[in-house]
A = this chain, B = another copy of it.
Amino acid sequence: MLDLTANDLAAVNDVILRRMDSPVGRIPELAGHLVSSGGKRLRPMLTLASARLCNYEGKQHVLLAACVEFIHTATLLHDDVVDDSVLRRGSPTANALWGNQSSVLVGDFLFSRAFQLMVEVGSLKMLGILSEAAARIAEGEVLQLLTTNDTGTTEDAYLDVIMAKTAPLFAAACRVGAVMAGRSREEEDALTSYGRNLGIAFQLVDDVLDYSAREATLGKTIGDDFREGKITLPVVLAYRRGSDSERAFWHRTLAEGAQEDADLAQALTLLQRHGALADTLERARHYGAIARDALAIFPNSKAKDALLGVIDFCIERGH
Contact = CB atoms under 8 A, between A and B. Distances in A.
Most buried by B among A27, A75, A145: A145
Interface stretch (A107-115, A187-195, A243-251, A268-276): A107-115
Interface in A93-134: 100-102, 104-109, 111-113, 115-116, 118-119, 122, 124, 127-128, 131-132, 134
Interface of A: 22-24, 26-27, 74-75, 78, 81-82, 100-102, 104-109, 111-113, 115-116, 118-119, 122, 124, 127-128, 131-132, 134-135, 137-139, 141-143, 145-146
B134 A127 contact: no
Given A101-B145, A119-B131, A124-B124, A138 B108 contact: yes
Contacts of A131: 112, 115-116, 118-119
Contacts of A143: 24
Given A22-B139, A24-B142, A105-B142, 5 more contacts: A81-B104, A82-B100, A82-B101, A105-B141, A116-B131
Contacts of A111: 108, 111, 134
A135 B116 contact: yes
